[in-house]
Amino acid sequence: MGNVEQFPTYVNDFLSQFDNIQPADIENEETIAKLIDFRARYKKHWPTVANILAGRLGAQADILSNFLTEHAREKKKLEEREKKKKALLASYPPSSHMNYRWEENEDGELYQAPRLTHEMWEDLAPVFKGQDGTQWPKNIRDQLLFWDEDNNRPNFVKQDTQTLEFFSTLYAKKQTIYWEENRAKGFMPRAEFVNGLVKTLKRYEGYSEYPHFPPVKGYFYRLRIKQGSQKTGKLDELVNMFNPASPSDKDKIRALFCSLFWGGHPGERPMIVVTAKAVHGQSSGKTTLVQAASRLISGDAEGYIKFNIESGSLDGEKLKTRVLGANGQRIIFFDNVRSSVLGSGYLEDLITSEDISGHRLHHGLDSIRNYFTVCATLNDSMFSRDIVTRSMIIQILPFDIKENKKAEWKDRLDNLLENHKEDIITDIKITLEGEPKELAEYNRFPRWCRDVLSKCTDDSEIVTKNNALVQEYNAENEEAEKLHEDILGEISRYKIDTLLDGGPNAPLAIKPLDWDEFPKMYVRISESMFLLWVCKSLGFRSNQTRLAKKKLAQLNLPWLKRGKEGTPHTSKVMGSRFYTYGNPQFKELPSQRMPKIINADYRLGEYKFVRYLTHTNTAV
């Protein structure tokens, strides 16, 4: 094309860039961008250049110009769209932290696409990792557990619409979480995300900061205890902070602390009753003892679920609901029991059931393994027989310190529990891992006696002593004594003849009953009459004989002859049923039907037999 130097500048630029342009190059984005730039710089000369290009590319100049104009317009539109995208995305947090992500449709427009649970959690998980590297949350029986690092305490999040607000509040410094509430467009609701997350995470059956020994299968423990082979002495120091009434009580205090960390079979822990004699009832540290035990489990005195009993009755369903909502607690605490008699089927089940089932708030029907230790404090209350057999009694005395020194005592206790907790737990661990000792007697919790109590004492008679002690708190003993006195009073109203035994060949003689000799005799009383006496003594209506029978089966009445399974024994005599009441030294009684006149064949050794009491007898 000649010497390029003789052409104007725009021609030289054109030749330097497009001298070898071919028809196929018009589809090349880089070539098109150069042409658009060239046209922008040399608008005045563009018609001339367009004609030259049209000749080379085999296209008309106006078609080429329109093509470049349209292409430039599209490019500008794309640039503006990208600018808007950047501005839009800049106004939101990263898309990985929401329940949607930005995507483009076929027209290049942005729209919000829903995200699945696992996609969201993959991006959220690093945000919820604790300072110690623990990945939160944990699925504890279908509840999400987070660790509140600011307050150093666990925080259970319910599966409701407040979950994401909690996420945002707890981790605001790390990442603010936004949520798109539009179910119609397919965006996942908060509750659905939490439910999905619960199913994604490994499920634990329970949570506790400190482990059990041995560990309970399926539990999540946040902390670990350092291995140690030597006791630190801090457990003994904690036990010595209190004032037990006897050496056995001191060992039972140690067993209380160890029981909370025992990972043995569920439902095999006795109720620990902390009490004091009436004269020493106040300010003896009963509640403080249980609170000290609970502080070994948690960082404060909230390691227990507390109930108050005023009237002796328990709302069983409410009790179960609170227990099923337990979040790391190991103590069920009945503090300062004021009822005259404590007895409840719910309470009995709470102590001995392997699983506790019922309604859990925000969840529905649920059950939990029973690794709880039930504790109670009381002064003058009594227990039913079934509760007594499930109890270990700890008697303590008031602190032998002046009032102005109690503050110092509490400071020493706080220091021990706050600064030496791991040492105390280490001592408990070593104690529970020790060899069991043989006990002279075991109660209804033999595994607990073997694996906990025997390792906390050198007294082989400790269970025997406790069995004798708990009878002092058996309300049915007092009730039985009253019933016995009332029955003797009813018998004394009747004229009763007795047999005199003068020897093998001596004739029978009749004399009025000498009540001084009654302990060597027995009386058979018609069933209907006897049950009327029982109803009268116990305050039942005269037609509540079935209830009276049930009560007789429960009470401890040595003078009442009993049959199988502890139920009162009745004999059929002369076509009617009779209760046999008399001296408990009788080992056997006549079983066959007796005639109206008692003959000598029914004398047993030194004991004499009186004839039967029926409604036909005349009261004196």
Residue 440: per-residue pLDDT = 94
Report how far residue 43's alpha carbon sits from residue 60's, in angstroms, rounded to the nearest whole number: 18
pLDDT, tens digit, 9 for 90 and up, residues 499-546? 444 444 433 333 444 445 555 556 777 788 888 888 998 888 888 888
Q: What is the pLDDT of residue 35?
A: 76
Helix axes 117-124 and 190-200, enclosed angle (nearest 10): 80
Return the bridge partners of 577, or none. 572
**234-399+407-473 CATH pick, 3.40.50.9100, 3.30.365.10, 3.90.1150.10, 3.40.50.300:** 3.40.50.300
pLDDT digits (tens, 9 = 90+) for 560-588: 875 544 456 666 554 457 777 776 654 44
Q: What is the pLDDT of residues 216-233, one digit of tens each?
A: 999 999 888 877 778 999
The pair of structure tokens assigned to 587 is 């080992």
**Encoding tokens for residue 148?**
């509140």
Q: What is the pLDDT of residue 93?
A: 56
Q: Judge contact between 68 and 36, C-beta under 8 A.
A: yes
Q: Which residue has the higher pLDDT, 100 or 268?
A: 268
Which pLDDT does position 246 carry in this prediction? 92
pLDDT band at 304 (very low <50, low <70, confident <90, very high): confident
pLDDT computed for residue 94 by the predictor: 55
pLDDT on residue 609 = 44
Residue 506's pLDDT is: 38
pLDDT given for residue 462 in this prediction: 95
Give the per-residue pLDDT at 263: 95
**pLDDT confidence tier of residue 425, bands split at 50, 70 and 90:** very high
For the segment 181-195, what is each residue's pLDDT rounded down to a tens digit?
Answer: 777 777 887 777 777
> What CA–CA distance (Å, rounded) separates 418 from 414?
6
Distances (CA, A) of 326 to 208, 335, 355, 364: 10, 18, 14, 15
pLDDT-wise least confident of 85-94, 208-217, 479-488, 597-606: 597-606
CB 427 within 8 A of CB 249: no
165-179, 286-300, 593-607: segment of lowest average pLDDT? 593-607
Domain boundaries, the chain: 4-88, 111-207, 234-399+407-473, 475-609
Percent of the chain at pLDDT > 70 equals 72
Return mean pLDDT, the chain: 76
Q: Residue 601: what pLDDT?
A: 32
Of 363, 375, 370, 359, the C-alpha closest to 317 is: 359
Name the residue with higher pLDDT: 369 or 37.
369
For the ranges 86-95, 122-131, 145-154, 263-272, which has the lowest average pLDDT?
86-95
Higher pLDDT, residue 279 or 35 = 35
Give the distance between the most distant pair of CA atoms in the chain: 169
Where is pLDDT greater, at 116 or 182?
116
